[in-house]
């Protein structure tokens, strides 16, 4: 035997569920935007730290060119 019964909810309960769904959806969107903003901030800070480290560690070797000269070159 198969029995199908429609779901009947009171109008107040439907409104409560809609408000709960709206709240959870807004909360998830806010969390996602916050996480994206935080990861972008960390990425930019690390890029600046790398540039600062690179400028602090400049040596003469950064500007030298090494080439091998064979005896027949002269």
Counting the structural domains of the chain, the total is 1
Q: Which residues of the chain have pLDDT under 70?
A: none
Q: What's the pLDDT score for residue 65?
A: 85
44-65 residue pLDDT tens: 999 999 999 988 988 877 788 8
Quote the CA–CA distance of 17 and 41 in Å, as a whole number.
36
Q: What's the pLDDT score for residue 22?
A: 97
Range of the domain at 39: 26-52
Q: What's the pLDDT score for residue 27?
A: 98
46 domain residue, yes or no: yes
Which residues have C-beta within 8 Å of that of residue 9, sequence separation ≥ 6? Answer: 17
36 domain residue, yes or no: yes
Quote the CA–CA distance of 1 and 50 in Å, as a whole number.
71
φ, ψ at 5 (rounded to 5°): -125, 130
Q: What's the pLDDT score for residue 25?
A: 97
61 domain residue, yes or no: no
């Amino acid at each position: 035997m198969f029995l199908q019964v429609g779901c009947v909810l009171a109008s107040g309960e439907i409104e409560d569920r809609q408000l709960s769904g709206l709240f959870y959806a807004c909360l998830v969107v806010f969390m996602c935007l916050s996480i994206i903003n935080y990861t972008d901030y960390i990425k930019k800070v690390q890029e600046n730290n790398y540039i600062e480290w690179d400028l602090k560690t400049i040596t003469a070797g950064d500007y030298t060119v090494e080439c091998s000269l064979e005896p027949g070159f002269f």
